[in-house]
Structure 1
Amino acid sequence: MTLSNTIRWLGMLAVIGGICRLLMTPLELMWGTDNTTALIIGGITGSVFIIIGTAGIYLFQAEKAGVLGFIGFLMTTLGNILVCTMVMIALFVNTALQDPQILEQDLPGPIVPIRIIMMITMNLGYILFGIATIRAKMLPRWGGALMILLVLMTFIPYTDYLFAVVWGLFYIVLGWAVWSRSKNSETKVSVTQ
């Protein structure tokens, strides 16, 4: 399998991850917040595909995204790994204790620092990766703008249910662009020495 074909398929994984993440909102609206099905589909499955698919989005535009894109990619990936970890903790705590309110309390131990690191890496990573995507001009610029909007939404009240929609949408948009644009052209990824 060639590198361009690998990048193409990573783009498709980003699309699948985006769809799973986007589904979290309607699933939670139907069955309630912290519902097991929503956490498995939107949280864990979505996160895993997003983590892998982000590599394709980065690699497709790596040359033009530069160091800023690379740092944004690394921070975003770390943040998404921590999101997946936190969702797994939520899922198992909710399942074991049958009490979804437990995660709304002040949590003991390392969960609070992990959540802080997750928020910092996610927010800073998506800002940097969004700016790099806009500047690279290889993928839809509004996909990069949605990354930045996602960060801003953490500070805007009453946007809780829209958060997963925006998050999933930019992965669908950017992943699909990688999938469709790399199909007909050879993607060049260079590593400078």
Structure 2
Amino acid sequence: MNSNRKTAVIKGNNQESKMNATTSSLIRYAGLSAMVAGIIYAVVVGLFHQPNILLSVTTTQWAVVHVLATAMCFLFLLGITGIYVRQAKEAGWLGLVGFLLYSLSWALTASFTFAEVFILPLMATEAPALAEGFIGIFASSAGETNFEVLANLWTLTGFLYMLGGLLFGIATFRSGILPRWASGLLAAGSLLSLVAALLPLEHQPKVAVPVGIALAWLGYALWSERRGQASIRPRS
């Protein structure tokens, strides 16, 4: 009986160790996703995004930036999930609310960036007036075509981005698991979206740089963590 019980305990410990190791690996790869997405956001979107005007829409630079931006949104969703899972207990309800709001903002952003790269260039060629109206969603200007519903949805996306990033950054800072400087930068950078509308069109994307750096930093911290050995150590 004792031998069978010890065998069962050993098997249970081995299964638990394998699950912990798998979870640890998934979290680390989520960190890699956040790191790559943060670099794209800070460098590609923040520094190379063209002004939201009709002349930009049909350029190669516009296509490349928005293809990468679309992929970035999905990488962010994976990365943010890993960051949250790593600190779920310590982050508490504030972390959960911030995570949900921030994730929703990136999911909505993905739909807009997809339209910008695959639909908007066709509109610019075939129906310029329609394209002007769509661009007006991002430039806060009204065109001949009314996109009021989409404009309101984009405004909501910006609000979710700002509030979700702020709450998620504060919760991550309070949890003390990942770098607090990066967490503080995420919270502060998210608030910078408030001043984006006050900047000239060519400088508005630059407000993405601090947030991109913060999320890449948090992703790197998650990726470089070495918890695997501790998590798979058998219990005595």
Q: Do they fold alike, i.e. is TM over 0.5?
A: yes
CA displacement 1:38-62 (0-9 Å, x = unmatched)? 1111x20111101111101111111
Sequence identity percentage = 25
TM-score (norm 2): 0.70
1:27 counterpart (31, 35, 48):
48
In 2, Cα distance between the equivalents of 1:81 and 1:134? Answer: 24
- Bigger shift: residues 93-102 or 64-73: 93-102
* In the alignment, structure 1 residue 59 sits paired with structure 2 residue 66: no
In 1, Cα distance between the equivalents of 2:231 and 2:185? Answer: 24
- What letter corresponds to residue 40 of structure 1 in structure 2? V
The CA deviation at 1:152 is 2.0
Which residue is 1:173 aligned to?
Answer: 217
The CA deviation at 1:28 is 2.7
In 1, Cα distance between the equivalents of 2:182 and 2:56? Answer: 27
In 2, Cα distance between the equivalents of 1:154 and 1:58? Answer: 22
Which residue is 2:172 aligned to?
Answer: 133
TM-score (norm 1): 0.85
The CA deviation at 1:24 is 1.9
Which residue is 1:80 aligned to?
Answer: 106
Change (3 A) 1:122 1:14: same
In 2, Cα distance between the equivalents of 1:109 and 1:154? Answer: 21
The CA deviation at 1:182 is 4.0
In 2, Cα distance between the equivalents of 1:33 and 1:147? Answer: 29
Gaps (5+ residues) in structure 2?
Answer: 1-20
State how many pairs are aligned: 186
- Residue pair 1:51, 1:81 contacting (<8 A) in 2 also: yes
Gaps (5+ residues) in structure 1?
Answer: 189-193
- Bigger shift: residues 59-68 or 101-110: 101-110
Which residue is 1:191 aligned to?
Answer: none
Select the structure of larger CA radius of gyration.
2
Change (3 A) 1:140 1:78: same
Q: Aligned ranges for residues 98-177 of structure 1 at < 5 Å?
A: 98=124, 101-102=132-133, 103-104=135-136, 105-106=141-142, 107-156=146-195, 157-158=198-199, 160-177=204-221
Q: Aligned ranges for residues 30-45 of structure 1 at < 5 Å?
A: 35-41=62-68, 43-45=69-71
